[in-house]
């Protein structure tokens, strides 16, 4: 597996505090050198730097979110931007994340074509009957349905899998 990963066309830039313009420049260079990019992943949005001209962090995150949306259209490449959630969900009885929990910006929800959350009940309830399962909550889908998909959580491998393959083994 390590050999395959080493040969895969994956480029990782772990420079901290990149701006949208820096990501844009790097992605454009890669695209001109290699052709179409399959996917850009930003881990995570709040670690990016803004231009420094915004009046507050919320406006800055909004500008970054909008910039990534424009970049995705320009490069015709999907961008997955991970985001922190606000701590407000910690105080709720039902800890499943909602759109309102996206941290520092309502524009993340507005700009995104799809917003999906991962939820594992066993994280909050050690006695949960759902140990070994996870939910992908599709909270927004601009061109399709929303809803929840249950997956098997394989903690030994830190991996999600199709639930139907593992239900009989539980």
pLDDT value at residue 12:
87
pLDDT value at residue 106:
75
Interval 65-89 mean pLDDT: 93
Q: Which helix (H) or strand (E) holds 44?
A: none
Taking CA 40 as the corner, what is the angle to CA 77 and CA 141, rounded to the nearest 5 degrees? 65
Instruction: Quickly state the pLDDT bin for 79 (edges 50, 70, 90).
Output: very high
Is residue 52 scored above 90 in pLDDT?
A: no
Domain boundaries, the chain: 1-112, 113-170
pLDDT value at residue 169:
53
pLDDT value at residue 74:
96
Write the CATH number of the domain with boundaries 1-112. 3.40.50.300
What is the three-class DSSP state of 25?
A: helix
Dihedral angle of Cα 160, 164, 166, 168, to the nearest 10 degrees: 160
Strands of the sheet with 159-162, listed across from one edge: 114-119, 133-141, 147-154, 159-162
């Amino acid at each position: 597996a390590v050999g395959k990963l080493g040969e895969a066309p994956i480029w990782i830039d772990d420079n901290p505090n990149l701006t949208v313009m820096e990501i844009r420049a790097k992605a454009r260079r890669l695209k001109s050198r290699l052709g179409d990019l399959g996917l850009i992943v930003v881990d995570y949005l709040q670690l990016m730097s803004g231009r420094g001209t915004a009046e507050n962090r919320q406006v800055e995150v909004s500008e970054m979110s909008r910039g990534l949306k424009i970049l995705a259209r320009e490069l015709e490449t999907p961008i997955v931007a991970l985001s922190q959630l606000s701590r407000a969900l910690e105080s709720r009885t039902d800890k499943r994340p909602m759109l309102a929990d996206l941290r520092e910006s309502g524009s993340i929800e507005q700009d995104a074509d799809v917003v999906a959350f991962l939820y594992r009940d066993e994280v909050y309830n050690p006695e949960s009957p759902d140990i070994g399962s996870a939910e992908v909550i599709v909270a927004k889908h601009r061109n399709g349905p929303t809803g929840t998909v249950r997956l098997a959580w394989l903690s030994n491998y830190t991996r999600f899998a199709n639930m139907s393959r593992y239900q009989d083994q539980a």
